Amino acid sequence: MGFNNWNSTHCRDEFNEDMIRGVADKLISSGLRDAGYRHINLDDCWADWKRDKNGNLQPNLKRFPHGIKALADYVHERGFAFGLYSSAGTNTCEPHQANRGFPGGLGHEKQDAAYFASVGADYLKYDNCNNQKVPAKERYKAMGEALRATGKPIFYSLCEWGENKAWLWATDPAVGASSWRTTGDISDNYASMLKIFKENVVLDAYAGPGHWNDPDMLEVGNGGMTDVEYRSHFSLWSIMAAPLLIGTDLRKIKPDALEILLNKEVIAVDQDPLGVQGKRVRDTNGVHVIVKPLKDGSRAVAVFNEADAAQDVAVSAKELGLQASAKYRMRDLWKHSDAQGDGSIKLRLEPHATVMYRISAQ
């Protein structure tokens, strides 16, 4: 859980050290840090377009005049982990000089890993651009080995877009990935969010503690979806045990979007220590039912209506894996209210809406 600047800034000039410091301060003052958002990650365009005379990465001093180490120290002093970005290719994804990206890590893995460790990085997002058609596992294995050789624990996030089905090989100890992208990039619209949900939800068998499916960062607060759609976005990512990386500029966030991101009951489903990704048990007529077992023996349930019209939905206790004759506490995680019931769910679900329950035995 944390923040990444890309969805709100891309490579624009507003991405700089003042922004990142301001975001760190807002994470604290808004209560987001206390809710569990503890990573602050820089995306593409943090580096200078060329390496230094010794071949080392160096920051863009226009954006980061005090350097990356000073920014990492600021972040660490406020109780956050600090993340950086690179690509498993010759250059990163954002075009710059001669229509190429900034320096990538291909062929520089040991040197770059040492740099990441030296400035205090705790997280590396490693992209897939300009990869020279070198096999994906070979490229990501090289950086994984280099990161481990530094002796510093660094969360290793593979960003290869699902192109090479990283979920099949990323947990190989030689690669050592902590998470891997399962999809292409998200955009701030309902169609994109829906497409990515459908691609990721079927991969539940590959996720678990220490190795996570990553359907990309959150768009909540960026303005391209309704509040109903953003609540569905947040609910679905949470029941899929996805990383929750805020992608909006928190210095400008509106209260309704902040309220979504601060829903601690939904966050608790995402962060449940059992570490199971929810399993979809129904996909019929635009209605999806996803069930996630939780550490305390209860179940989280999300019921999502992808359709453009409201639907009457009935879900039986049996469909949720519950005993029909038992009595249950039904906790609505968005209304923050309790009801008693037999474990079944009956409701009218509005277009693009998701309801989320925590169901526990009485």
- As annotated, the active-site residues are 127, 185
The residue behind tokens 């943090």 is: 46
Asked whether 257 and 248 are in contact (CB, 8 A), the reply is yes
Asked whether 228 and 352 are in contact (CB, 8 A), the reply is yes
* Coil, strand or helix at 354: strand
Closest CA to 72 of 44, 41, 104: 41
* Coil, strand or helix at 2: strand
Closest CA to 139 of 114, 115, 166: 166
Asked whether 276 and 208 are in contact (CB, 8 A), the reply is yes
Residue 333 CA, chain-centre distance (Å), reads 20
Instruction: Kindly give the pairing relationship between strand 354-361 and strand 299-305.
Output: antiparallel
Q: Which residues pair with 2 in a beta bridge?
A: 39, 245
Q: In this structure, which amino acid lies at residue 166? A: A
CA distance 54 to 184: 35
Q: Is 127 exposed, middle or buried (0-12, 13-18, 19+ CB in 10 A)?
A: buried
Instruction: Kindly give the pairing relationship between strand 81-87 and strand 123-127.
Output: parallel
Instruction: Kindly give the pairing relationship between strand 212-214 and strand 179-181.
Output: parallel
Residue 321 CA, chain-centre distance (Å), reads 28
